[in-house]
């Protein structure tokens, strides 16, 4: 079975691993992302971490077909660099693909993180069998990818666009993009943290699973805003399925139930029955699964 190295660069953490062509994650680890300043230390740290994983088994390194790299933000047409992301300024305009290829001595396939995530769901997860799939990942930001009839939608920035920046509350939180009340600003990890006393999403989810009322209330409020945003996006893409992933989605039903209820409340009637809103089972690791999958077999 073929395998690929995989890197998923987010605004807070970067996930690194080795993934088989059937979507199985063979090895994985996570490092902190330095979102500001000189990009070289970040790239060096990512490459060193992946080399350690690959070198742990020489036979594994020899069988690696390449490296899939997903990064938050818009890409240039050649998929050589990320050109826009308010949450990851260090890498804007930096020749990321070339820098990683030089350090790893392997071919690298650079992709938008939202595209990688939706491909993981389409090929190996909750999106299998969908004809019109919308996938969203919720973490430091909110990204969305779309697959229609087996092809990725590439509109703006080599992806479906910046779906997290539709405005759902004109008086809402200030977003990193400069607008107020963006869907991203209302559901991201910072918003969730504010609703639960400043704790990290991991701590909030842990407390909620143990029954803490404040943590559960924070997740439910986040889910209500997310459902509203997904309802707003549905007329644009007419999805038959929506998959919610990312780090916050690890809360599973504590987030998803409120999201589904809000979605049904706000969406146009035609989508209430025909569109399924499901949760990812990848616990936030869908980015490396999709990145590796695209490196092994491009979708378009």
**Domain locations along the chain:** 3-116+286-296, 128-279
CA 211 to chain centre: 27
H helix count then E strand count, the chain: 11, 12
Question: Is there a common fold for 3-116+286-296 and 128-279?
Answer: yes
Stated pTM of the model: 0.94
Largest Cα separation within the chain, whole Å, is 56
Extract the residue ranges of the chain whose pLDDT is less than 70.
Answer: 35, 57-62
The confidence score (pLDDT) of residue 152 equals: 98
3-116+286-296 carries CATH number 3.30.420.40: yes
The confidence score (pLDDT) of residue 299 equals: 84
The confidence score (pLDDT) of residue 61 equals: 56
The confidence score (pLDDT) of residue 28 equals: 95
| 3-class secondary-structure state, position 59 | helix
The confidence score (pLDDT) of residue 60 equals: 59
The confidence score (pLDDT) of residue 13 equals: 92
Query: Which CATH fold topology does 128-279 show?
Result: Nucleotidyltransferase; domain 5 (3.30.420)
The confidence score (pLDDT) of residue 210 equals: 97
The confidence score (pLDDT) of residue 58 equals: 56
**CA nearest neighbour of 31 among 55, 10, 15, 19:** 15
The confidence score (pLDDT) of residue 62 equals: 59
């Amino acid at each position: 079975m073929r395998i690929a190295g995989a890197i998923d660069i987010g605004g807070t953490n970067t996930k690194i691993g080795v993934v088989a062509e059937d979507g199985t994650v063979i090895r994985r680890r996570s490092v902190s992302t330095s979102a500001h300043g000189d990009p070289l230390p970040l790239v060096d740290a990512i490459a060193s971490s992946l080399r350690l994983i690959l070198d742990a088994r020489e036979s594994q390194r020899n069988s690696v077909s390449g490296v899939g790299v997903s990064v938050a933000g818009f890409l240039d047409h050649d998929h050589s660099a990320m050109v826009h992301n308010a949450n990851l300024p260090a890498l804007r305009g930096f020749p990321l693909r070339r820098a990683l290829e030089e350090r790893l001595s392997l071919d690298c396939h650079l992709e938008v993180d939202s595209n990688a995530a939706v491909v993981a769901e389409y090929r190996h997860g909750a999106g299998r069998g969908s004809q019109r799939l919308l996938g969203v990942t919720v973490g430091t930001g909110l990204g969305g990818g779309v697959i229609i009839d087996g092809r990725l939608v590439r509109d703006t920035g080599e992806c479906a666009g910046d779906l997290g920046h539709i405005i759902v509350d004109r008086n809402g939180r200030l977003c990193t993009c400069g607008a107020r009340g963006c869907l991203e600003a209302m559901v991201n990890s910072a918003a969730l943290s504010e609703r639960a006393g400043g704790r990290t999403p991991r701590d909030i989810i842990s407390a909620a699973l143990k029954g803490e009322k404040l943590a559960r209330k924070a997740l439910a409020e986040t889910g209500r805003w997310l459902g509203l945003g997904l309802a707003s996006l549905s007329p644009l893409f007419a999805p038959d399925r929506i998959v919610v992933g990312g780090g916050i989605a690890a809360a599973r039903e504590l987030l998803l139930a409120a999201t589904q209820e809000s979605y049904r409340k706000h969406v146009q009637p035609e989508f209430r029955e025909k569109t399924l809103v499901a949760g990812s089972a990848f616990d936030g690791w869908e980015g490396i699964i999709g990145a590796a999958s695209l490196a092994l077999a491009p979708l378009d």
